[in-house]
């Protein structure tokens, strides 16, 4: 089927739309499941593989960085060569990475496997949103995106508990092997149930040069910031500035750039939604990572019990996301997103009071507020971004939305890795370092407050075109 036939097929077949939604929801469930489950397993991984604090912070960072590097090229490729094709390829790569991670015998191999996982996740996660945007382009997009986001948060909900239980009972390796049946199910269903294809009818080429420059820019920025104040880190940051300049100049010259920066900036609704997403995820992701460490190291909870606490936040997100999605089809999505940003800000204010003796009620209140904030924010923000773009550009727009999330997560990871390096260094996290870990947590909360405040402003000021 060509693009017009595919649109007609899904417009007139509710079962086909639901099948596509289920397939994408499985993928949306897998990525956060892999990420959140592995966060709870990190102390066990660190102990078993004798990984120091810097290596520990690289376990999520390797996944996020590789995800970020491939996200925009994959989104552009999906518009050119077909969204279903890129989705299937990414699922296969993610499967290979998950198996490799489970078989890891040392920290270096595990980090390499996480890179492979990230490449695969970057290809199918962002493309999935574009598929939903295409399937539901004639109505119900906000509600459908709400279910996708609900599955993201369901993955976040199940991940900590599943990761904790698997780590306690079967070892940390089982956290990665548990992904395999879900991935296989997604691959099989995609072949059988996802009909048609979505790709550009115009002859276009993927901007390999721009993709390479952008990937090198992200890598040098991250490695440079996380290794400050070493002399070579400053050299890398200078190289990053040069790469940024080269990328913008290249972007102006080519006919089909990997992302048209000028058009993104001129599209007020899209650009503000992307900035809001970066700020919100920069504030939340670092605290989710550190909360898992705080609960286990500073408070002495088991991986399973820590997972139960983190599950509170994700369950509330999953419950609120579909409702927020439906509301964003009827009312201004940017204002609903702004309300979510403000709730997150309140959550971080509560977290400032946490220490080694805090009552568990304070922890619960902070997680409830954070879950409510993101439940209100994510779907309306994504809907606002997709509403502001034409349907033939949904692949790259979807990738930009996903990339903004990853940039925010990368900002958080960069800050935490730097703080870990300065406060704890290459030592393992032992009781003598618990106060330093708490200090890193406090600094991160303070930075997250600033991010949430900025996100509230940019969400309120966003307008669709």
428-442 confidence digits (pLDDT tens): 777 888 888 888 889
DSSP 12: T
Tokens found for residue 149: 């986001």
Check whether residue 180 and residue 233 sit in a common domain.
Answer: no
Looking at the fold, whether 380 and 445 belong to one and the same domain comes out as yes
Is 377 among the domain residues?
A: yes
Are residues 351 and 420 located together in one domain of the fold? yes
Q: 328: domain range?
A: 20-197+258-461
Q: How many residues does the chain have?
A: 465
| Per-residue pLDDT, 164 | 82
Q: Is residue 3 part of a domain?
A: no
pLDDT digits (tens, 9 = 90+) for 27-58: 888 887 887 788 788 888 888 888 777 777 78
Locate 340 and state its tokens: 């979510």
Tell me how far apart the alpha carbons of residues 320 and 153 are, in angstroms, rounded to a whole number: 10
The model's pLDDT over 2-24, given as tens digits with 9 standing for 90+, comes to 667 777 777 777 888 888 888 88
Domain's final residue, options 257, 282, 298: 257
What pLDDT is attached to residue 465? 44
> Is 14 part of a structural domain of the chain?
no
The burial of 12, by beta-carbon neighbours within 10 Å (0-12 exposed, 13-18 middle, 19 or more buried), is given as: exposed
CB neighbours (10 Å) of residue 315? 19
Which runs of consecutive H residues, i.e. helices, occur in 50-203? 53-81, 83-102, 107-135, 141-170, 173-177, 180-193
Per the listing, tokens 């904790």 go with 164
- Let me know whether 190 and 232 are in one domain: no
What pLDDT sits at residue 452?
92
Query: d(Cα 150, Cα 447) in Å, to the nearest integer?
Result: 27
Domain assignment present for 247: yes
DSSP 431: G
Q: Is residue 2 part of a domain?
A: no
Average pLDDT over residues 346-356: 92
> Which residues, other chains included, contact 28 with Cβ-Cβ below 8 Å and sequence gap of 6+?
125, 128, 148, 149, 151, 152, 155
| Confidence bin at 451 (pLDDT 50/70/90) | very high
Q: Which two tokens stand for residue 371?
A: 């879950």
Interaxial angle between packed helices 394-423 and 53-81, expressed in degrees from 0 to 180 and rounded to the nearest 10: 170
Name, in order, each residue with C-beta under 8 angstroms of 131's C-beta and a sequence gap of 6 or more. Answer: 20, 24, 83, 84, 87, 194, 198
Same-domain status, 229 and 353: no
Work out the percent of the chain whose per-residue pLDDT is above 90.
17
Q: What is the sign, positive or negative, of the torsion defined by CA atoms of 72, 78, 79, 80?
A: positive
Which residue has better confidence, 443 or 72?
443
Do residues 168 and 26 both lie within one domain?
yes
Would the pTM of this model clear 0.75, i.e. be above it? no
How far is it, in rounded angstroms, from Cα 101 to Cα 179? 11
- Cα–Cα nearest to 378, from 28, 24, 77: 28
On whether both 126 and 218 belong to a single domain, the answer is no
Q: What pLDDT, on a 0 to 100 scale, did the predictor assign at position 362?
A: 92
Pair 215, 115 in one domain: no
Tell me how far apart the alpha carbons of residues 274 and 407 are, in angstroms, rounded to a whole number.
10
- Could you count the other beta carbons within 10 Å of the beta carbon of residue 188? 12
> Is 11 domain-assigned?
no
Average pLDDT on 412-428 reads 77
DSSP run (H or E) holding 282: helix 268-293
Radius of gyration from C-alpha coordinates of the chain: 21
The CATH number of the domain where 263 resides is what? 1.20.1250.20
Residue 464 has a pLDDT of 45
Q: How confident is the model at residue 121 (pLDDT cuts 50, 70, 90)?
A: confident
- In this predicted structure, the answer to whether residue 450 has a pLDDT above a threshold of 50 is yes
Co-location of 152 and 180 in the same domain: yes
Which stretches of 397-442 are assigned E, i.e. beta strand? Answer: none
Please report, in angstroms and rounded to a whole number, the separation of the first and last CA atoms in the chain: 31
In a domain, 64, yes or no: yes
35: closest CA among 129, 126, 138, 162? Answer: 162
Q: Is residue 221 domain-shared with residue 104, that is, in the same domain?
A: no
Separation of alpha carbons 400 and 259, rounded Å: 9
246 plus 269 within the same structural domain: no
Torsion sign, CA atoms 220, 225, 231, 234: positive
CA distance 64 to 56: 14
What value does the mean pLDDT take over residues 348-353? Answer: 92
Report whether 30 contacts 83 (CB < 8 A).
no
Would you say residue 1 lies in a domain? no
For the record, the structure tokens of 33 come out as: 């499941």
Does residue 373 share a domain with residue 274? Answer: yes
If one counts the domains in the chain, the total is 2
């Amino acid at each position: 089927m060509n693009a017009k036939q595919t649109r007609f097929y899904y417009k007139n077949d509710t079962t086909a739309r639901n099948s596509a939604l289920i397939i994408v929801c499985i993928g949306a469930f897998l990525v956060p499941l892999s990420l959140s489950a592995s966060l709870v397993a990190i102390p066990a991984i660190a102990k078993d593989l004798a990984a120091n604090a810097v290596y520990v912070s690289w376990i999520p960072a390797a996944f996020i960085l590789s995800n970020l590097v491939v996200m925009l090229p994959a989104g552009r490729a999906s518009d050119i060569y077909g969204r279903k094709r890129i989705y299937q390829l990414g699922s296969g790569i993610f499967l290979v990475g998950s198996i490799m991670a489970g078989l890891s015998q040392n920290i270096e191999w595990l980090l390499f496997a996480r890179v492979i996982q990230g490449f695969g996740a970057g290809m199918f996660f962002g493309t999935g949103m574009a598929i939903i945007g295409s399937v539901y382009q004639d109505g119900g997009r906000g509600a459908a995106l709400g279910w996708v986001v609900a599955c993201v948060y369901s993955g976040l909900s199940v991940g900590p508990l599943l990761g904790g239980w698997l780590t306690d009972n079967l070892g940390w390796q089982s956290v990665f092997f548990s992904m395999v049946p879900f991935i296989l199910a997604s691959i099989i269903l995609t072949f059988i149930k996802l009909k048609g294809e979505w790709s550009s009818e115009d002859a276009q080429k993927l901007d390999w040069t721009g993709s390479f420059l952008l990937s090198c820019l992200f890598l040098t920025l991250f490695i440079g910031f996380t290794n400050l104040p070493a002399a070579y880190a400053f050299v890398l940051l200078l190289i990053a500035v040069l790469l940024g300049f080269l990328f913008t100049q290249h972007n102006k010259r080519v006919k089909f750039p990997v992302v048209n920066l000028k058009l993104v900036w001129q599209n007020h609704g899209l650009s503000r939604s992307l900035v809001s997403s970066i700020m919100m995820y920069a504030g939340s992701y670092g605290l989710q990572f550190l909360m898992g460490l705080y609960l286990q190291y500073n408070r002495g909870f088991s991986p399973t019990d820590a997972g139960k606490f983190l599950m509170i936040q994700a369950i509330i997100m999953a419950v609120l996301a579909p409702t927020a999605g439906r509301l964003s089809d009827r009312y201004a999505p940017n204002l609903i997103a702004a309300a979510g940003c403000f709730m997150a800000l309140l959550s971080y204010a509560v977290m400032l009071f946490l220490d080694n003796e805090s009552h568990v009620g304070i922890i619960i209140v902070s997680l409830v507020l954070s879950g409510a904030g993101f439940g209100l924010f994510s779907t309306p923000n994504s809907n606002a971004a997709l509403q502001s773009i034409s349907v033939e550009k949904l692949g790259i727009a979807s990738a930009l939305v996903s990339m903004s999330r990853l940039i925010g997560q990368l900002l958080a990871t960069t800050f935490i890795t730097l703080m870990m390096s300065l406060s704890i260094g290459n030592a393992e996290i032992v009781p003598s370092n618990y106060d330093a870990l708490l200090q890193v947590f406090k600094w991160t909360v303070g930075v997250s407050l600033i991010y949430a405040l900025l996100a509230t402003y940019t969400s309120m000021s966003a307008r669709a075109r």
